[in-house]
Amino acid sequence: MKLIVGLGNPGDKYNFTRHNTGFLALDFYLKRCGGTWSEKPRLGALFCEIEEVLGGSSAASEGEKVILIKPQDFYNLSGVAVAQWARYYKIATSDILVICDNFDLEFGKVRYRATGVAGGNNGLKSVDKELSTSDYARIRVGTKNEEILNRVGAVDFVLSRFTPEEKEKLPLVLTEVCEKIDDFIRK
Amino acid (one-letter) located at 161:
R
Distance (Å, whole) CA 124 – CA 98? 8
19, 70, 138, 140: which one is catalytic? 19
Handedness of CA 24, 112, 94, 126 (dihedral sign): negative
- Residue 132 CA to residue 93 CA, distance in Å, equals 10
Task: Show the beta-strand stretches assigned E in the chain.
Answer: 2-6, 45-50, 66-71, 96-106, 110-113, 137-144
Q: Note if 69 is an active site residue.
A: no
Partnered with residue 2 across adjacent β-strands are: 66
Task: Check: CB of residue 19 under 8 Å from CB of residue 75.
Answer: yes
Q: State residue 126 phi and psi, 5-degree precision.
A: -65, -45
The residues assigned a catalytic role are 19
